[in-house]
Amino acid sequence: MTGIKIISTGSCLPRRVVTNDDMAALVETSDQWITQRTGIRRRRFAAPEEDTVSLALGAARAALESGGVPPEKIGAVLVATFTPSTLVPNTACLLQQQLGLPQDVTALDLNSACSGFLYGLRVARGLLCQEPDRYVLVVGSEVLSRVVDFTDRGTCVLFGDGAGAAVVAAAPEAPFVWTAGARGDAQALRCAGITGSGGPLSPVVQMDGREVFRFAVDTVPRAIRRVTEEAGISGSQVDWYLCHQANARIIAHVAKTLAQPEEKFFMNLSEYGNTSAASIPIALDEMNRGGLLRRGQKLVLAGFGGGLTWGAALMEW
């Protein structure tokens, strides 16, 4: 079985910082409520001239530059997003053009909401099995501020904008143990598309927060256990756990269920809120640039979100 390795990372965040107090000026909420219930203190919102493509481009350029990866080495570009600027061309095609990637590249967007980056890694692995000599660029990019209902305090305080990217290479000797799932559910979490039976729709995220919370604390520990068991290692042999950055209480629950110290669960959601498919690659880049990751360390990534979808992967840094 061919494993994969992340050889470099990058991220790009809008400059505009929106604090909990800023949100309290829009809806009936408070810094105290948001901090206690979620751990989020601030988030970034895109400026009018920024979008999913520009953020993805910034993150992708940073990943290519930090790894010294020439564009011709990229064989596929995958963008996980549910907030694309255009449906056609997809975001990945625009990256091909703007990054000067070769034209014989596979360029596709994938939408699995907050599990998108995990699904992207899985697809990357499949592509690398077929073409191990080139790399796959996997990007998560979202502008959730454009699909948030700013009159719904139950959702608008949670989300932020940003992008993260990783250059992924085939690594036959490295482990890559993966699990994922989907349970179709349009009640717990939904965001409309372009048209419905009544005509054009205007997409906004609608969520039953309690239901998604229950889903996350049930699914994520089981997915993580599954990949560690399949890899034949114990939870304590994992150096870092990196969960989708939605809520600090969800991550604390996961740590407790797995009987692992919370310190092994990286968190940066206080700064950026929930950036959906971008949250894991943004966090990975922060860990990487912060010197937290050393080659050979065992890393478990875990995502969950709309769909409902989930996924976990055990890999070596």
Stretch that binds ligand ACO, among 29-37, 49-57, 130-138, 222-230 (CB under 6 A): 29-37
What is the rounded distance in angstroms from the CA atom of residue 180 to the CA atom of residue 305?
12
H-assigned helices in 68-204? 91-99, 116-130, 153-156
Shortest Cβ distance from residue 57 to ligand ACO (Å)? 22
Q: Are 7 and 137 in contact (CB under 8 A)?
A: no
Question: Per rule CB under 6 A, is residue 305 in the interface with ligand ACO?
Answer: yes
What is the rounded distance in angstroms from the CA atom of residue 2 to the CA atom of residue 127?
11
How many other C-beta atoms are found inside a 10 Å radius of the C-beta of residue 155? 21
Q: For residues 267-296, which are near ligand ACO according to CB under 6 A?
A: 274, 276
On the question of a cis peptide bond just before residue 301, with omega within 30 degrees of 0, the verdict is no
Shortest Cβ distance from residue 249 to ligand ACO (Å)? 7
Q: Which is nearer to ligand ACO, 210 or 222 (CB)?
A: 210
Task: Report, in angstroms and rounded to the nearest whole number, the Rg of the chain calculated over CA atoms.
Answer: 18
Stretch that binds ligand ACO, among 26-34, 50-58, 162-170, 217-225 (CB under 6 A): 26-34
Question: Per rule CB under 6 A, is residue 153 in the interface with ligand ACO?
Answer: yes
Residues assigned a catalytic role = 114, 244, 274
- What's the chain's length in residues? 317
Shortest Cβ distance from residue 53 to ligand ACO (Å)? 19
**Amino acid (1-letter code) at residue 208:** D
Task: Name which position in 9, 29, 245, 279 contacts ligand ACO (CB under 6 A).
Answer: 29
Q: How far apart, in Å, do the first and last CA atoms of the chain sit?
A: 17
Instruction: Please give the size of the binding site for ligand ACO, defined by CB under 6 A.
Output: 24
Task: Name which position in 148, 246, 248, 313 contacts ligand ACO (CB under 6 A).
Answer: 246
Binding pattern for the stretch 85-114 against ligand ACO, x by CB under 6 A and - elsewhere: ----------------------------xx
What is the rounded distance in angstroms from the CA atom of residue 314 to the CA atom of residue 300?
4
**Amino acid (1-letter code) at residue 21:** D
Residues 6+ apart with CB under 8 A from 87: 194
Q: For residues 176-235, which are near ligand ACO according to CB under 6 A?
A: 189, 205, 209-210, 212-213, 216
In the complex, the residues that contact ligand ACO under the rule CB under 6 A are: 29, 33-34, 37-38, 113-114, 153-154, 157, 189, 205, 209-210, 212-213, 216, 246-247, 250, 274, 276, 305-306
